[in-house]
Amino acid sequence: GGVLSSILPRSIWGATPPTSNRPQHTPNRITFHHTVQPEGISGPSAVRQIQNWHKQAYGMADIGYHYVIDRDGTVYNGTPVDRIGAHQKGQNEGNIGVAFIGSFGAGSAPSTQQIQSAVGLGLQVANQFGFSLGSDSLLGGFLNGTGGQIIGTILDFLFGGGGSGGS
Average pLDDT, the chain: 90
Q: What is the pLDDT of residue 165?
A: 42
Q: What is the dihedral of CA 51, 13, 131, 141, to 10 degrees?
A: 40
What percent of the chain shows pLDDT beyond 70?
92
Residue 114 in this model has a pLDDT that exceeds 80:
yes
Model pLDDT, residue 163: 44
Comparison of pLDDT for 161 and 122, the residue scoring more = 122
What pLDDT does 69 receive? Answer: 97
Could you give the percent of the chain with pLDDT greater than 90?
Answer: 69
pLDDT in tens, 84-96: 999 998 999 999 9
At 161 the pLDDT is 59
Q: Radius of gyration of the chain from Cα atoms?
A: 15
- How confident is the model over 10-33, as pLDDT tens digits? 999 999 999 998 999 999 999 999
Which residues have C-beta within 8 Å of that of residue 12, sequence separation ≥ 6?
44, 76
What pLDDT digit, counting tens, does each position of 64-73 carry?
999 999 999 9
Q: List the beta strands (DSSP E) in the chain.
A: 29-34, 67-69, 75-77, 95-100, 138-140
The whole-model pTM stands at: 0.91
- With bands split at pLDDT 50, 70 and 90, how would you rate the model's confidence at 117? very high
- Return the SS3 of 117: helix
Q: Is the per-residue pLDDT at 1 higher than 80? A: no
**What is the pLDDT at residue 74?**
96
Indicate the SS3 state at residue 55.
helix
